[in-house]
């Protein structure tokens, strides 16, 4: 959520930075109008309260002096009724203003390149060259079926399209990846592991800006007004919602493995085969809660933490800076890490690392107080996939496949897979 004071005092700059995204009508004129109306009503209420306080002090004096206070009492009654009416109107306007502010995206950082869509994202760096084969490589959905480790037909029978049943070495491979990722993040990179709920209430979903804008992309449980989380970013970032942390508490690094759930309402026809775009998928998430002055350096470190997983797996990837037309609603700047997928003959997103600045912290009222005192300040929050496990499984299958249809297990995963080196059909 943006600071209304910033919108009020830097309206033209805020308008320019939101329009820089190149899409959407962000209702900034209505926000300014609502803010002006709120301030006018508030000024009127405060003036009437001051009058009420002044007059109420005179009434006992008038009665003591034997004066007729009936007109003054009648005025007090009118003032009281007027205040109640204006306070009700003030609440209505404030609710409307709050709802409008929830629908305004974060301001894009000045370092973000301008562009209309993902075709104009800018490559920042690359690791390894795309995998080359001396045979016709298979797509991961064919490999998984031939190896009898991925079962899409039975998943469709159980739940429908965009679900997968992992079997045998397929299940073991995905579990190995999750454990490997968590071990690196926790034991080497300083993250604290969390096992959070995978259900979140409306307030929690609003705090990380999934609501109200993306409600139709969520799986909803109406009987409890709960949502299945689309990412562990939601519970991890909200762990300290409504709290005032001390400066000594920061930074906080959290990581979690969770299943994630997305309706994918706007992705009809995209990546329908395989395990790239699923309604339910496994992911390891990283979240940081930091001081404002540290957040840009922390974004670089966060991205490197995610890249380290791919480097150790020996998977080709590159990092791109998302342009203004592709960046997420709550992000000030995002790096996407994209892994090479031979079946697509292109890079595919496997992690998205973002600095949300104070955008989420304002929505969930998460602040900290400095050692030297002063007023509490909003923290900055960051998040990144470390990594999407299903997509990593797909990338391992495709990049490590052999001519005979088997798949070599990356060396770093073998201790997690009982020492197995290759996945073969008979496994």
Q: Is 369 a catalytic residue?
A: no
Inter-CA distances, 127 with 333, 336, 383, 416, Å: 21, 14, 22, 25
Q: Which of 209, 331, 352, 406 is catalytic?
A: 352
Sign of CA dihedral 346, 347, 350, 356: negative
Point out the catalytic residue in the list 10, 120, 349, 377.
349
* Of 32, 38, 162, 262, catalytic: 262
Of the listed 51, 202, 277, 370, which one is catalytic? 277
Tokens of 62: 């008038």
| 311 labelled catalytic | no
Cα distance between residue 363 and residue 237, in whole Å: 11
172 is catalytic: no
Q: What are phi and psi of 323, to 5 degrees?
A: -80, 175
**Which one is catalytic: 38, 363, 391, 406?**
391
Q: How far apart, in whole angstroms, are the C-alpha atoms of residue 193 and residue 182?
A: 8
**Which stretches of 85-239 are assigned E, i.e. beta strand?**
122-127, 150-151, 165-166, 192-193, 199-201, 219-221, 226-228
- DSSP secondary structure of 266-278: T-TTSS-STTSS-
Work out the widest C-alpha separation in the chain, in whole angstroms: 108
Is 349 labeled as catalytic in the residue annotation? yes
Q: Note the Cα 422 to chain centre separation in Å.
A: 36
At 386, give phi and psi (nearest 5°). Answer: -135, 45
Tell me, yes or no, if 352 is annotated catalytic.
Answer: yes
Active site residues: 262, 277, 349, 352, 391
């Amino acid at each position: 959520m943006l600071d209304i004071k910033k919108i009020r005092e830097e309206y033209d700059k805020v308008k320019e930075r939101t329009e820089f995204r190149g899409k959407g009508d962000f209702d900034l004129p209505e926000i300014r109008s609502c803010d002006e109306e709120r301030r006018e009503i508030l000024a009127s209420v405060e003036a009437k309260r001051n009058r009420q306080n002044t007059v109420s002090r005179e009434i006992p004096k008038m009665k003591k002096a034997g004066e007729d206070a009936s007109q003054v009492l009648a005025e007090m009654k009118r003032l009281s009724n007027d205040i109640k009416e204006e306070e009700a109107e003030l609440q209505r306007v404030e609710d409307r203003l709050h709802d409008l502010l929830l629908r305004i995206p974060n301001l894009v950082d000045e370092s973000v390149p301008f562009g209309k869509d993902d075709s104009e994202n800018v490559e920042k760096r690359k690791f390894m060259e795309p995998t080359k084969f001396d045979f016709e490589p298979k797509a991961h959905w064919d490999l998984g079926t031939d190896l009898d480790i991925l079962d899409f037909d039975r998943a469709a029978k159980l739940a429908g399209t965009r679900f997968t049943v992992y079997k045998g070495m397929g299940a073991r491979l995905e579990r190995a990846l999750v454990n490997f990722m968590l071990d690196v993040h926790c034991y080497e990179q300083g993250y604290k592991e969390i096992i959070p709920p995978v259900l979140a209430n409306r307030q929690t979903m609003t705090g990380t800006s999934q609501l109200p804008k993306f409600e139709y992309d969520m799986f909803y449980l109406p009987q409890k007004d709960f949502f299945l989380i689309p990412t562990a970013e939601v519970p991890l970032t909200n762990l300290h919602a409504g709290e005032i942390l001390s400066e000594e508490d920061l930074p906080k690094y959290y990581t979690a493995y969770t299943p994630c759930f997305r309706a994918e309402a706007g992705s009809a026809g995209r990546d329908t085969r395989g395990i790239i775009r699923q309604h339910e998928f496994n992911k390891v998430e990283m979240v940081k809660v930091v001081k404002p002055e540290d957040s840009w350096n922390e974004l670089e470190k966060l991205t490197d933490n995610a890249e380290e997983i791919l480097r150790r797996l020996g998977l080709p990837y590159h990092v791109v800076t998302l342009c203004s037309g592709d960046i997420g609603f709550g992000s000030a700047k995002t790096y996407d890490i994209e892994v090479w997928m031979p079946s697509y003959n292109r890079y595919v997103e496997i992690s998205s690392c973002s600095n949300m600045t104070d955008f989420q912290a304002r929505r969930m009222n998460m602040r900290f107080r400095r050692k030297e005192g002063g007023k509490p300040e909003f923290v900055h929050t960051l998040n990144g996939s470390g990594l999407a496990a299903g997509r990593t499984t797909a990338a391992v299958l495709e990049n490590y496949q052999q001519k005979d249809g088997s798949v070599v297990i990356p060396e770093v995963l073998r201790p997690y897979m009982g020492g197995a080196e290759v996945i073969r059909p008979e496994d």
